[in-house]
Amino acid sequence: MGAIIFDPGQLSVRLDLEMRNDAGDGQGGIVPGFALVTSLWARIEPVAITEEERADAEMFIVTHRIWIRFREDIAAGMRFRKGTRIFTVRACHDPDETRRYLVCRCAEDGR
């Protein structure tokens, strides 16, 4: 596979990368939380939308491809934040194996 031709100027959205950082609740349980890793420039591409019902409420899940500069420290379960929008990372891959870019498959929950 050849190198992907990609204009880095398309990385025009500023996102915060967050990783899981659970804390104890003092009673033997955990309080789920996330900690900021870094802020970075990205390109967001919506891919698909699915609808489902959860607890009698209609929900939709939008999947996205988020392009960023290559990093080795991103894994499934991390997330990107843009204001109140949250994109949960499901999988990542190097599209042309040149370690220039990373494409993250992400899901965004919504109502």
Give the per-residue pLDDT at 10: 87
What's the pLDDT score for residue 55?
Answer: 77
Write out residues in the chain with pLDDT < 70, as ranges: 1-3, 110-111
**What structural domains and CATH numbers belong to the chain?**
10-110 (2.40.10.270)
Secondary structure (H, E, C), the chain:
CCCCCCCHHHCCEEEEEEEECCEECCCCCEECCEEEEEEEEEEEEEEEEEEEEECCEEEEEEEEEEEEECCCCCCCCCEEEECCEEEEEEEEECCCCCCCEEEEEEEEEEC
User: What local confidence, expressed as pLDDT, does residue 59 receive?
Assistant: 80
